[in-house]
């Protein structure tokens, strides 16, 4: 079992640092403001959090004490932060991508992890991803959870917060072959609401253009 134990905020901060290093390397190491925004993203996060910069700073201080994060030496006038998982555990990009996903989204199936991690690192097929997860399990970084009633696939979870509690009453993962597959129900609602808002703005702008065009002939 891992000697390191992190709380939920520390997991979110560490996972966000790991994710952004792979997904947006030009903006890594991260400022406190950028890291706070990453932790509070409404997409690709479960649960959605609303952390203050002080919350994130306290988590960073704790991660520094546990030798999992530090302030970048070349941060200049604005403090920037990075994680130390690569140096500490010698992770390959695919391993880091999978752990980052587990840290920011919680337990997931092999298929979910493959689909969501591909934006950060090249992933193999499902068999290769499962092998990677088994390798991480052998290092006490992840664990395969018991199969939930009514579901065929098992999920994997990180062990940075200890062995996660499982409940038979936990609702099954939602799956649909659509453009927004792979995000939670609350996040799907948020995405759809944002899409409706965008369309309403476009319609309003179009109506305004038509009215202005009509006035030219009055």
Minimum mean pLDDT among 127-136, 172-181, 183-192: which range? 172-181
**Cβ contact 69:60 at 8 Å:** yes
How far is Cα 32 from Cα 39, in angstroms, rounded to an integer? Answer: 10
- List pLDDT tens digits, range 26-54: 999 999 999 999 999 999 999 999 999 99
- Rounded to whole angstroms, how far apart are CA atoms 67 and 61? 10
Q: CATH number of the domain that 131 lies in?
A: 1.10.10.10
* Residue 163 within any structural domain of the chain: no
User: Is position 80 within any domain?
Assistant: yes
Same domain, 84 and 147: yes
| Residue that the structure tokens 């944002």 belong to | 194
Q: Based on the domain organization, do 73 and 20 belong to the same domain? A: yes
pTM of the shown model: 0.75
Give the total number of structural domains in the chain: 2
> Has residue 171 got a pLDDT over 70?
no
Backbone angles phi, psi at 86, to 5 degrees: -60, -50
Residue 203 has what pLDDT?
75
Q: Are residues 151 and 122 in the same domain?
A: yes
Structural domain including 98 reads 8-158
Q: Is 166 within the bounds of a domain?
A: no
Tell me the pLDDT band of 179, cut-offs 50, 70 and 90: very low
Treating both helix axes as pointing N-terminal to C-terminal, what angle do 126-138 and 110-117 enclose, rounded to 10 degrees?
A: 100
* Gap between the Cα atoms of 214 and 202, Å rounded: 18
| Whether the Cβ atoms of residue 156 and residue 110 lie closer than 8 Å to each other | yes
């Amino acid at each position: 079992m891992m000697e390191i134990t992190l709380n939920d905020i520390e997991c979110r901060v560490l996972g966000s640092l790991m994710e952004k290093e792979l997904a947006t390397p030009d903006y890594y190491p991260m400022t406190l403001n950028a890291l706070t925004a990453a932790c509070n993203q409404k997409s690709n996060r479960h649960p959605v959090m609303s952390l203050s910069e002080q919350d994130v700073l306290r988590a960073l201080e704790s991660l520094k004490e546990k030798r999992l994060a530090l302030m970048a030496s070349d941060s200049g006038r604005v403090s920037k932060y990075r994680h130390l998982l690569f140096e500490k555990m010698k992770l390959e990009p695919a391993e880091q991508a999978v752990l980052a996903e587990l840290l920011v989204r919680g337990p997931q199936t092999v298929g979910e992890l493959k689909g969501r991690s591909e934006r950060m690192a090249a992933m193999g097929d499902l068999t290769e991803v499962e092998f990677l997860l088994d390798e991480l399990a052998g290092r006490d970084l992840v664990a395969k959870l018991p199969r939930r009633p009514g579901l065929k696939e098992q999920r994997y979870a990180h062990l940075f917060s200890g062995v996660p509690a499982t409940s038979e009453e936990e609702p099954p993962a939602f799956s649909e072959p659509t453009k927004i597959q792979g995000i939670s129900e609350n996040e799907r609602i948020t995405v759809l609401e944002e899409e409706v808002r965008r369309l309403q703005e476009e319609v309003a702008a179009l109506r305004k253009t038509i009215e202005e065009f009509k006035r030219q002939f009055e």
